[in-house]
Amino acid sequence: MNLLLWFRNDLRSHDNPALQYVLAQHKLDTPVEAIFFVTHKQWLQHDWSARKIDFIMRHANALVAELANVNIMLKLVEVDSFAEQISYLVSYCQNNQVSEIVANSEVELNETLRDNALQAAGVKLTLFEADVIVPKGKLLTQSGEMFKVFTPFKQAWLSYVKALGFDYLGKLTHKQLEACQHSETETSLTSAWPLAKDYERDVLPQFLAEKLAQYAQKRDFPAIKGTAGISPYLAAGVISPRYLLRLLLTKYPDLLSSPNAEAFSWLNELIWREFYRHQLFHHPKLCKHESFKSQYQGLPWLNDAHAFKAWQQGKTGYPLVDAAMRQLNSTGWMHNRLRMVVASFLTKHLLIDWRWGEQYFMQQLIDGDFAANNGGWQWAASTGCDAQPYFRIFNPIRQSERFDPNGEFIRTYIPELANIPDKEIHFPHDYIAKHGLRQYWPPIVEHKSARLRALAFFKAN
């Protein structure tokens, strides 16, 4: 029986059910064929950023070297589209007497349709689930539907894991794999982010030992490195969420029963990730640019192109918004609190379609993940599942005063404001005018009037 292992959004040897399944069918002295498609044109159609692509390719190349040590021959094949993936695989199976392709499932609509088409072409495709902790479809309301509110979903999630546990396959233990070292000699767009194996060895233990206890208190302050920086690894599938839960439960065995434990705030973020992936599984319409709340599908957004460009470039005149956008543009990453602030500003202050922001984020983010990105943007725009109500409009000045009180983050990305006093930096325009300064652009909207306009907009629609 010839099997082909198909790597997709799971370029890892650690806790990889498809990989473990294939290895269980082979002896180590028998070569295992594996494939990963490099599909730049398709990736760009899905608005993947150059940073995300670079990050993935670094892991693909590292995995080639790693798996070669255990007689798994991973081949990187360049094609343009999902249709070409199907054609290639059908031909490969016929020419190499492959009876079964083994892979981990992907939840997005186009990927699901591709898999269905491959099976319709006569290929046996065996799929495992590796992107969530609780299998999608297992958490339903009493009426048999997916939860529309996060908190009851969370309670059901916790109950499921406490009662049934979760699968975790661990690391491959073959001595050749453990001894394998892949060193990178070239710099790239994402060199600042270590490979997943190095992150698991060096960064994650330090976060758990030194930062997790204060995560709930520090996670909202962008000038503090209080988060784990795990999102690019989860988005690329190079680290397993089940591994993260196992680490948490090793350190905090009673965590699932003690929601006030210091580490639960971090676990809560993992459950939010699960919530959005489960939503995508139950509601594939989300992949078609549709609002979760159908009544908001046809909102007459203002969609001012000049205002959108100012937002993109970090020239709105609101320092926290502008610093956040500069962080995104220069690093490919943005602090989570700031993602909420800038998304609220675009959709509520400027009344620009959330889809514009969703797409721009995907085009910039190293951690671009459709489910999380779509969920976050629809949450901010009040169009999504368990979204903030339309009348909740972040005040960017108050957010700045609360979460960047000394302007440390603002000054990092807007050095033009370096000499503005702390008290004035959150909205420095009166100070700038008084002192005859011109180093910062004026606000494109006035907060109070923009808020009233947004309230009227949503009430009317």
Select which of 268, 336, 395, 408 is catalytic.
336
129 in active site: no
Catalytic (active site) residue 184: no
Establish whether 301 is a catalytic residue: yes
Does 229 belong to an annotated binding site? Answer: yes
Nearest to 431 by CA among 319, 330, 272: 319
Torsion, Cα 83 84 85 89, to 10 degrees, reads: 110
Judge whether 231 is annotated as a binding position.
Answer: yes
Catalytic residue among 193, 272, 333, 379: 272
Query: For this structure, is 269 an active site residue?
Result: yes
Annotated ligand binding at 368? The verdict is yes
On whether 80 is known to bind a ligand per the annotation, the reply is no
Q: Angle at CA 312, nearest 5°, toward 306 and 313?
A: 90
- Cα separation, 366 vs 194, in Å, equals 13
Q: Is 274 annotated as a binding residue?
A: yes
Any binding-site annotation on 311? no
- The 3-class SS string of the chain reads CEEEEEECCCCCCCCCHHHHHHHHCCCCCCCEEEEEEECHHHHHHCCCCHHHHHHHHHHHHHHHHHHHCCCEEEEEEECCCHHHHHHHHHHHHHHCCEEEEEEECCCCHHHHHHHHHHHHCCCCEEEECCCCCCCCCCCCCCCCCCCCCHHHHHHHHHHHHHHHCCCCCCCCCCHHHHHCCCCCCCCCCCCCCCCHHHHHHHHHHHHHHHHHHHHHHHCCCCCCCCCCCCHHHHHCCCCCHHHHHHHHHHHCCCHHHCCCCCCHHHHHHHHHHHHHHHHHHHCHHHHHCCCCCHHHCCCCCCCCHHHHHHHHHCCCCCHHHHHHHHHHHHHCCCCHHHHHHHHHHHHHHCCCCHHHHHHHHHHHCCCCCHHHHHHHHHHHHCCCCCCCCCCCCCCHHHHHHHHCCCCHHHHHHCHHHCCCCCCCCCCCHHHHHHCCCCCCCCCCCCHHHHHHHHHHHHHHC
Q: Binding site annotation covers 357?
A: no
> Is 230 marked as binding a ligand?
yes
**91 marked as part of a ligand binding site:** no
Burial class for 300, CB neighbours closer than 10 Å (0-12, 13-18, 19+): exposed
Q: Which of 48, 157, 311, 377 is catalytic?
A: 377
356 is in an annotated binding site: no
Reply yes or no on whether 43 is catalytic. no
- Is 35 known to sit in a ligand binding site? no
376 is in an annotated binding site: no
Asked if residue 369 belongs to a known ligand binding site, the reply is yes
Q: Which two tokens stand for residue 442?
A: 């004026």
Q: Which of 311, 354, 356, 379 is catalytic?
A: 354
Out of 33, 100, 269, 424, the active site residue is 269
Question: From the candidates 33, 61, 290, 301, which is the catalytic residue?
Answer: 301
Q: Is 184 annotated as a binding residue?
A: no
Show which residues are catalytic.
269, 272, 301, 336, 354, 377
As annotated, the binding site includes 215, 227-231, 266, 269-276, 367-369
As annotated, the binding site for FAD includes 215, 227-231, 266, 269-276, 367-369
